[in-house]
Chains A and B, each alone.
Chain A
Amino acid sequence: MTTVVPDRRALFTGFFMVGLAGFGGVMPHAQHMLVEQRRWLTEQQFAEVLGLGQVLPGPNIVNVAVAVGARFHGASGALVSCAGLLLAPLGVVLLLAALYASYQQQPLVQGLLRGLAPTGIGLVLGMALKLATRLPRRQLPWALVLLTFLAVAVWKLSLLLVLLLLVPLGVALAWHWPERVS
């Protein structure tokens, strides 16, 4: 798959649209824009950037915007990507907060939110499925998926603890038995 190198203006507008579109979770929109729509990254590269963005502290999508911007245009690229990502939603969220008080009781507004919430979560699950499709069909990586999910979602361990344990474990497994994890 061939990829395209964006200029700074494209970085700004691309992330601007992602920020504006991202109801109930921005990452699926970012994946669509970066991989499927504008082809700045391959699925593989997106998975790498997302992995780093998740492991590092801070808002994941902002980390992704920084990494993508830096990849193509260094510090200024990171800056325009973040500005594009955050500017529009900041305006919208302030507007909504101001409107909320007057319209919060409207059944139409409540119905809309009731429909948007599960759809947004479905988009996140869809992205997980896309990422999972790329994992090798071997036991080890899938055991790590399960372990990560159980530790965070079921056992409710602190995320910091989970990452401190599983990041070295995953990397060490992949280092020593690359043929088993790949």
Chain B
Amino acid sequence: MMLWTLFTLFAEFSLLAVGGANSVVPEIHRTVVGELGWLTGSQFAALFAIAQAAPGPNVLFVSLIGWQMAGVSGAAISLLGICLPSSLLSFVVARWWQRVQGSRLALAIERGLAPLTVGLVLAGASAMLHAITPGTRGLLLCAATAVLAWRLRINPLWLLAVGGLLGALGWV
């Protein structure tokens, strides 16, 4: 029963998550902490921080709520719930996109969306920077990483290794 509740709860959030999984986090908080009382506010914050620190998409955060409520199967079913409706839509659109490719409409969509994509990625980075409030060195590390990632076609893992090492050594 809990598994079905988790599935339907997160499936409802799926199509609301315009711009990515993080956009529904405030709404999930309101429901899970406020309405349902499944978690306290600080439990919620800790689970969110763990999901941010772990590798993988941010959406994995919801699997931790499911895990808290119903173990590993709860984690899996919550993840399925939030991914399934949006993935079906995305599948349909992707197929349609391949059919119209090269048409005037496709060209207009592609050229019209490109600047929005850049703006959204920049806005996302800015929101993340605000959330962690880095010091001067943190900002320097961030800027240096951005330039190196832009100019060199280097595997991002190397840059992360350097950043993590600097942090562990207490430089950041």
Write the residues of chain A forming the contact surface with B, with a CB cutoff of 8 angstroms: 19-29, 32, 36-37, 47-63, 66-67, 70-71, 75, 78, 82, 85-86, 88-90, 92-94, 96-97, 100, 108, 111-135, 141-149, 152-153, 159-160, 163, 166-167, 169-175, 178, 181-182
Contacts and interface: CB of A to CB of B under 8 A. Distances in A.
B128 A148 contact: no
Given A51-B114, A93-B54, A113-B53, A126 B149 contact: yes
Nearest to B106: A48
Contact of B167 (A86, A96, A114, A121): A114
Interface of B: 14-21, 23, 46-47, 50-60, 63-64, 67, 72, 75-76, 79, 82-83, 85-87, 89-91, 93-95, 97-98, 104-105, 107-129, 132, 134, 138-139, 141-150, 153, 155-157, 159-160, 162-172
B77 to A, nearest CB: 12
Residue from the set A21, A59, A94 with the largest chain B CB neighbour count within 10 Å: A59
B108 A148 contact: no
A86 B57 contact: yes
28 contacts: A27-B121, A47-B110, A47-B114, A49-B94, A51-B117, A57-B14, A58-B15, A60-B19, A62-B86, A63-B87, A70-B91, A78-B91, A88-B56, A93-B64, A115-B165, A116-B164, A119-B162, A122-B143, A122-B149, A123-B149, A125-B143, A128-B122, A141-B114, A148-B116, A172-B108, A174-B108, A174-B110, A178-B108
A114 to B, nearest CB: 4
A59 B114 contact: no
Contacts of B113: 48, 51-52, 55, 167, 170-171
